[in-house]
Amino acid sequence: MAITVQYHELSGSGQSRHSFERGHEDLRFFLVKWAERFTFATQIAGSAHPSLPYCWCRDIQIDPFMGDDSKFAAEISDALTELPAYTVDNNGFTALVRCQYSRGPLFGEGGAEYPWPCEITKPSHTAGTELSLQCRASSQFLLVTPGAARWDDNTVGAAGGQVPEEDSPACRLYVPTTDFYIDWLFVDEPPLDLWRYDLMGRVNDDEFLGSPAECLLFVNFELQPATKLDWDSSACWTLKTVFRERIIGDDGGTKLGWNHELRNDGIERVKVKDGDGNWANRYPTVDLSSMFTESSCASSSSGA
């Protein structure tokens, strides 16, 4: 957003810090008319630092300044002559605006986006919101029936030789899983009905988050009140989601996921009867591609 009010950046501006854990940080100082302090803050909030990459204005502090700070005293008289005169109507103060630049999510146009691994496609989301990602690899152990496993020296199968006992380690199959934790930030209207009744407990009908069809399960979500740097309405929501990828096998290049299990003669699709008595996939498939789109209903986040 362009800055339309008159301002002066002080020479003490640009106190930077750089670390492996937090990246770039910088503190800049500005003088503006007291009556225009909020307009200036609104316009500079979320702006990119002029020289430091991945560094945005995320924290703003405004104080009345009357020229008695020795840190800026050498230039304050010249700075004030460049700004309009101050009257009793604006309390006789100049506004000293401290802008802290750092990494992190932002609300608004040109906001900061978190980086994503190239193998995990970032989902589309409503403009003005943001997504962050964490992953954790895990697993599950499947109990295989004795008829689905045999010892290597049993060359003629179960009828002609020994098979593992039910409690044998040979009847346990390690299946890798990956949990995806996606936080949806700065949401005004959460699509709760869609998520609760149409998406949760279902699997992807097409590739999503880089996971093949039917291999990603929408496990659960959590709704939390949150805030954003917005002078008109700062209340919003954060939705924390959990997806779990499970790939049990491969069929000619097609990954087999949540709707498949291992039986005596190999991996097979599982069917269950639905409410109408028809045979259907154990986990229904749904389109997840637009799930991070805000609802059209009006919530109470605006204070209504």
Cα–Cα distance for residue pair 159/301, rounded to 1 Å: 67
What are the backbone dihedrals phi and psi of residue 7, each rounded to the nearest 5 degrees, phi first? Answer: -150, 165
**Beta pairing, strands 285-286 & 203-204:** parallel
The DSSP H or E segment spanning 272 is strand 271-273
Q: What element of type H or E holds 180?
A: strand 172-187
Q: Write the pLDDT tens digit of every residue in 172-213.
A: 889 999 999 999 999 999 999 999 999 999 999 999 999 999
HSE on the CB side for 227, CA within 13 Å? Answer: 7
What residues have CB less than 8 Å from 280, skipping those under 6 apart? 271, 272, 273, 274
**pLDDT of the residue at 131:** 92
Give the H/E segment covering residue 39: helix 37-44
Alpha-carbon distance of 241 to 301, in angstroms, equals 20
Tokens of 44: 């500079």
Nearest to 280 by CA among 290, 271, 270, 288: 271
CA 174 vs CA 19, 53, 138, 249: distances in Å = 40, 43, 10, 11
Residue 135's H or E segment, with its range, is: strand 130-143
Judged by DSSP in three states, 40 sits in helix
Q: Which token pair is 280?
A: 């259907």
User: Cα–Cα distance between 269 and 282 in angstroms, integer?
Assistant: 9
Residues whose CB falls within 8 Å of the CB of residue 65, separated by 6 or more in sequence, listed in order:
31, 72, 93, 94, 95, 96
**pLDDT at residue 73, as a whole number:** 46
- Quote the CA–CA distance of 130 and 108 in Å, as a whole number: 10
The torsion of the CA quartet 185, 187, 190, 196, rounded to 10 degrees, works out to 0
Q: Return d(Cα 46, Cα 115) in angstroms, integer.
A: 17
> pLDDT under 70 in the chain at which residues?
66-93, 107-113, 156-161, 299-304
What is the pLDDT at residue 201? 97
From first CA to last CA, the distance across the chain in angstroms is 28
Nearest to 225 by CA among 273, 185, 253: 185
Tokens of 226: 């949150």
* Radius of gyration of the CA atoms of the chain, in A: 29
Q: Are 165 and 151 in contact (CB under 8 A)?
A: no
Rounded to whole angstroms, the Cα distance separating 213 from 204 reads 5
Cα(59)–Cα(98) distance, integer angstroms: 8
Q: Please state the pTM of the whole predicted model.
A: 0.78
Neighbours of 69 (CB within 10 A): 14
